[in-house]
Amino acid sequence: MLVLGGTRDAITIAQRLNDGSNCDSILSLAGRTSHPDTGIGEVRIGGFGGAAGLARFLTEHGIVAVVDATHPFAARMSFHAAVACARANVPLVALVREPWVASAGDRWVPASNVNACAALAAALGRRIFLTVGRQELEPFAALDEHWFLIRSIEPPDPPLPRAYELILARGPFAFSEELALMRAHAIDCVVTKNSGGAATQAKLLAARSLGIPVVMVARPARPADVSSVQHIEAAVDWVRERLAPVRA
Ligand code: NAP
């Protein structure tokens, strides 16, 4: 089994498969963080060399099925997985987390991508909480009139805004902590990708409670012809169904 990771869900799936399914799973990470959570089991780190490299990997390692549990914004990897699995004739399922959906009291402003959201955020606030990841801050670097609270797991790549404070942290984050953080820094706008999931949702609840606008970056497109599930349990069941004929 190959589990394409970069999410907590991927670690859980790989762990569940190794624990309970009498199956060897390999967790694959892009290598975006220097001390990644990996759980137990075999881990490989770094790109495959495009779809062709991944197809080769599948064949050479006798992979019988692939779970794409990548981050919802890691779309290139998902497209490569679709192409490679079709080429190597290996079944593929994607774990697609449900996106966050606005409810009463939310002041969300949609943005089609991170570049588009810098102008929106600049118009909506002066003290902006940026949670888009460390590699996507360039569009904000030109905003000299604004102050930023930047939160990322690893130190961000330059260029960075003129005025900012950096918090290095990995979720999950609690509602009370997010509320206190935003109050302490007088945040008046939040910028986030629509990653979905519970671990980083509390900032949205805190923004709602404070009446703060949220610039919400929409997810990139996913490959169309790939089976998908929404929950870890369903992904594990899907794998077990694929393993049964292999063992028989
Ligand atoms: P990407 O654009 O989908 O992938 C770029 C390349 O990274 C892929 O072509 C592949 O290289 C390699 N790669 C990605 N995921 C991999 C995996 N699980 N195992 C092995 N190689 C992998 O993804 P990205 O550049 O990492 O990130 C795009 C967006 O997703 C960013 O906005 C980022 O903040 C967000 N994100 C990513 C991760 C993550 O772990 N990747 C986690 C959280 C958030 P080859 O073509 O050489 O195979």
Q: Which ranges of the chain does DSSP label H, i.e. alpha helix?
A: 8-20, 50-60, 75-88, 114-124, 138-141, 175-184, 202-210, 232-247
Token couple for 182: 């935003």
Length of the chain: 248
Categorize the per-residue pLDDT at 248 as very low, low, confident or very high, splitting at 50, 70 and 90: low
How confident is the model over 25-33, as a mean pLDDT?
A: 94
Cα gap 88→226, rounded to integer Å = 15
What are the tens digits of pLDDT across the range 173-231? 999 999 999 999 999 999 999 999 999 999 999 999 999 999 999 999 999 999 999 99
Span from the CA of 50 to the centroid of ligand 1 (angstroms): 11
- Ligand 1 atom nearest the C-alpha of 33 is 40
Does any ligand 1 atom lie closer than 6 A to the CB of residue 139? no
76 three-state secondary structure? helix
What are the tens digits of pLDDT across the range 46-96? 999 999 999 999 999 999 999 999 999 999 999 999 999 999 999 999 999
- Ligand 1 atom nearest the C-alpha of 195 is 44
Does any ligand 1 atom lie closer than 6 A to the CB of residue 49? yes
Categorize the per-residue pLDDT at 169 as very low, low, confident or very high, splitting at 50, 70 and 90: very high
What are the tens digits of pLDDT across the range 9-21? 999 999 998 886 6
Q: Could you tell me if 141 and 159 are in contact, meaning their C-beta atoms sit under 8 angstroms apart?
A: yes
